[in-house]
Amino acid sequence: MNRRELLKSLPAGALVPTAISATVMPSAATEKQAPGAGSGRAQTSGTNPGVYKVSNKTFDNPGAYDGIHCDQFGIGTDGKPIADNLTGTGSDAAPKGQSHKMTLTQEEQDILSGSQGEVMAKVLKTIVMHGELFGAERLADCGGAPHSSLYTGSPWVVPVLEMFEEIADAGLKAHAPYTVNPMPLDLYSVGQDPAKRNMMLEGYPLQGRLIQLHTRLGARPLDVWSCACYLPEVGNTAEPGTVVSWAESSAVNYGNSVLGLRINRMATGMELLCAVAGKVPVFGMLTDEGRKAKWHIDVKLSKEPHWGALGGAIGTKVVEQVPYITGIDQWIGMQDGKPDLVAMGKLKAMGSSTASSGAVGLYHVENVTPEAQVQARALLAEGHQTYVIDDAEMERVLGTFENRWKDPNGDPTAVYIGCPHNTYDEILYWAKRLNSALRLKGQKQVAIPVIMACPIVVRNRLLDEYPLLLRDILRAGVKFTTICTPGYQGLKGMADIDRGVTNSNKARHYSGLRLFGDDDLIQIALTGKLPA
C-alpha cells in the first residue's frame, strides 16, 4: 500500500498532524466535539470595523510588529546588551580584518570590470562587498533555484523596486526560474470582507508593480508562490549540499536543516541580487565550521510537544546559534531515510518558530536531519552549551505567550491555520477533522471563518484527491487562501477588527494571534467561543 492509499484508508483521527492534539493555552476544554453546543454562524460580537484611511498619520496600531521579542532584543541585569554579537548569519560569521578581500575568478573580475554590462557589475559589486564584510574567501555558484522574500508592495519598498527594475531593464534575470513568498493580500477569499479588502489594497498599493517585477526577473507563476517553497507540489528543492540563494527565514531554516542545502540568512533584496548573479559569497552556514552546533538542546518531554511552542523555546534561548536537538526523533516518522510528509509539517512548525522567536537559520535533529544522520554528535562544537527542555520548562515557556488582543476578553473572530503555508497532509488533516466535527454536531457551518493558508497547487491536490471533502468544507465556511498570515495580520487597523487564533507559533510571534492546540481550535471554529 503506498502512502496515498494508506492516508485514504485511515480515519481522520489516525492521521498525525503538526502539533497533534496539543493543548497549548491553559484550557479545561480539551474534549472533542461536544454535541449540542449550538449551531449556525455566530455573530462576531464586539468587533468594530471602524474606518481605515491610509492617509491617517496617527500611529496607534503597530499591528504585526507590536510585541515581537526575544532575548536578542534585551539588556541584561548587568546593564549590558544581550546577544549583541549577532551577525545575522545564523552562525556568528566574523570579519577577517580591516581590509579582507575575497579571491575572485577571472570571470568574476571581468564582470566587475563591466564585461556583462554596467548593471551586472553593480550587482556583483554589491555581493562582493557584502561577502567581504563577513570574511568570505570566495564566491560559490548557485545551484537549484532561488527563493525571494521580496513580497510586500508597500510604498517604502520603492527604492528596492527601482533597484530591481533597473536590473530588469538591463535584460537581466535570475539564474533559474524562482519562487516567491506568498502575497500579503488575497482579494478572492479573505478579501471578500470589504473592510479587509480595502486594508489590503491601501496597505500594499504597489503589489501589482511587484508582481510585474518578479515576472520580468523570471519568477514562476503565482500558483506556486509560497513561503514553503520546498513543498513537493511547489518543488523548489535540491540535493543536499547544494548552495542556493534563498531568503524567507522559515524556508532558509528548513532548507539548511531538513534538506541539507547550504544557505545564508540574507536580508531581503540580497537573495535576489545573488540570484541574478548566480553567485553567493561563501561564509557562515555555507561553511562546515559555520554549521557546527553551539547548543545541545536536550528534550526530555513526557509527551509529543506542540512543535511551534518547542521551536519558540529553542529560538528564544539560542537566538541565532545552531542547535543540535536530541530526544524528539521518537515523534518524527522517516521514509527512505528522510522525514516523511507528516514529519515535514512538524519540522516546519518547529523550525519556523526557532527562526521567528530567535534567528535560527539551521538546526540539527539527532537521527533525523541529513547531517546529523552522518555526523551525529560530532556536529557539536567544542564548548557548546546545553539547554534542557522538560515538561516544567515547556510550561514556563507557554506561560510567556501573552494575550495581545485589543479586547482581551472578546470572542475570537477567525481561525488561522498554516504559517508557514500548510503542507498537503496538513490541509487534509484539518479538512477531515473539521468535517467530522461538524457532522458529529449536526452543524452545517463553522461559527467563525477558518482561514487555511497554502499555495494554490496544494489546494488543487486536495481537489484532485478528495473533491467531495473539499466541497463540504468550503460549504462549511473554510476559506482557502494564499496569503502570508503575518503580512495580512500586520495591516494597519487589522488588530482593531480581528481577534484571531492560530496553530502557528510563528504567526503568534509576529501578530496579535493567540496560539491554541488542535482540539481547542476545532472547538473554537465550531462555537466561535474560547474554551472554558
Partner 1 sequence: MAKKTFTGRVILSGEITGKATVSKQPFNTSGSYVENMFGGRTDAAPCTDAANKELFGKDLAGAILCTPTTVGSTMGGMALMGMKSIGVGPEALLFSKPIDTLAAAGVLMAEIWKEQRIVTIDMLGDEFLETVKMGDPISIKEDGTVQVG
Q: Which parts of this chain interact with partner 1 (CB under 8 A)?
A: 54-59, 62-63, 65-69, 72-75, 79-89, 94-95, 98, 122, 125-126, 129-130, 133-134, 149-150, 152, 154-160, 162-163, 166, 203, 247-249, 264-270, 273, 359, 490-492
Amino acid present at 255: G
Closest CB to partner 1 among 79 and 337? Answer: 79
CA dihedral 478, 479, 481, 485 (to 10 degrees): -80
Closest CB to partner 1 among 204 and 430? Answer: 204
Closest CB to partner 1 among 171 and 235? Answer: 171
Q: Compute the least distance from the CB of residue 172 to partner 1, in Å.
A: 13
For residue 147 the three cell numbers come to 527563493
Bridge partner list, 388: 298
Q: Compute the least distance from the CB of residue 307 to partner 1, in Å.
A: 22
Report how far residue 522's alpha carbon sits from residue 512's, in angstroms, rounded to the nearest whole number: 20
Closest CB to partner 1 among 69 and 209? Answer: 69
Q: Compute the least distance from the CB of residue 12 to partner 1, in Å.
A: 37
Report how far residue 472's alpha carbon sits from residue 474's, in angstroms, rounded to the nearest whole number: 5
Closest CB to partner 1 among 6 and 158? Answer: 158
Question: What is the 8-class DSSP label of residue 81?
Answer: B
Q: Given phi > 0 = left and psi -120 to 50 = alpha, else beta, which region is 117? A: left
Q: How many residues does the structure list for the chain?
A: 532
Closest CB to partner 1 among 274 and 332? Answer: 274
Sign of the torsion formed by the C-alpha atoms of 306, 307, 308 and 313: positive
Q: Compute the least distance from the CB of residue 275 to partner 1, in Å.
A: 14
Q: Compute the least distance from the CB of residue 204 to partner 1, in Å.
A: 10
Report how far residue 190's alpha carbon sits from residue 325's, in angstroms, rounded to the nearest whole number: 38
Q: Compute the least distance from the CB of residue 99 to partner 1, in Å.
A: 9
CA–CA distance from 459 to each of 405, 422, 426, 523 (Å)?
30, 9, 11, 23
Q: Compute the least distance from the CB of residue 251 to partner 1, in Å.
A: 11
Closest CB to partner 1 among 44 and 226? Answer: 226
Preceding amide of 420 cis, omega within 30: yes
Question: Please, is 54 exposed, middle or buried when counting C-beta atoms within 10 Å of its C-beta (0-12, 13-18, 19+)?
Answer: middle
Secondary structure class of 127 (helix, strand, coil): helix
Q: Compute the least distance from the CB of residue 226 to partner 1, in Å.
A: 17
Helices (H), ranges, 83-183: 106-112, 118-133, 158-169
For residue 45 the three cell numbers come to 460580537
Closest CB to partner 1 among 63 and 305? Answer: 63
